[in-house]
Structure 1
């Protein structure tokens, strides 16, 4: 299930506590980030144990354009995560909203 950048922005501005992850590479994260926890896509399988408690909770994932986060969402769903949301358009679309 996807989430729009408008909904994400609104929820971040409200200060909601989100399970929010960025699956870009470290150098991209250092250039610009939205405050999400960084887990590069290639490292995601190594972090399943720490994500395990969130299996039934909403998890929001973003990347630069939505492609890598889409892959990450599909991977997590294949591992039994039931409420993974991909940010449509990624950080590029988010920054266009500002």
Structure 2
């Protein structure tokens, strides 16, 4: 299993505020993202991640997001095993996010 670095929700918020070139991917299901997403995140449900990898640059920094951090960790490990070297998991998922939400 690939080692995945965790990043705190506060650090994710800082990256958004500083316009860092980080690609945020929310792997939750449609009904979950309807309750709000992290600003600038792209919604790719977990089951679609394998089909989307060819459309994503491997050298990009990615932060994976889900409700609690478990599904996003699985997605991050999947990506890392396929050559994405800079993939992080947002610690605690949306349950720990107190920042702005977009709908």
TM-score, scaled relative to structure 2: 0.84
Written as runs of structure 1 = structure 2, the 5 A alignment for 1:19-38 is 19-35=23-39, 36-38=41-43
Q: Distance in 1 between matches of 2:19 and 2:79?
A: 25
Once superposed, what is the RMSD of the aligned Cα atoms? 1.5
Q: CA deviation at 1:32?
A: 1.0
TM-score, scaled relative to structure 1: 0.88
Q: Distance in 2 between matches of 1:41 and 1:74?
A: 12
What is the CA deviation profile of residues 11-62 of structure 1, one whole-angstrom value per residue up to 9, with x for unaligned ones? 22233342111000011111111131000001111101111x2x12211111
- Partner residue in 2 for 1:13: 17
Mapped contact 2:27–2:43 kept (Cα < 8 A):
yes
TM superposition outliers: structure 1 runs of 4+ over 4 Å? none
Gaps of 5+ in 2: none
Q: Distance in 1 between matches of 2:20 and 2:79?
A: 22
More helix by share: 1
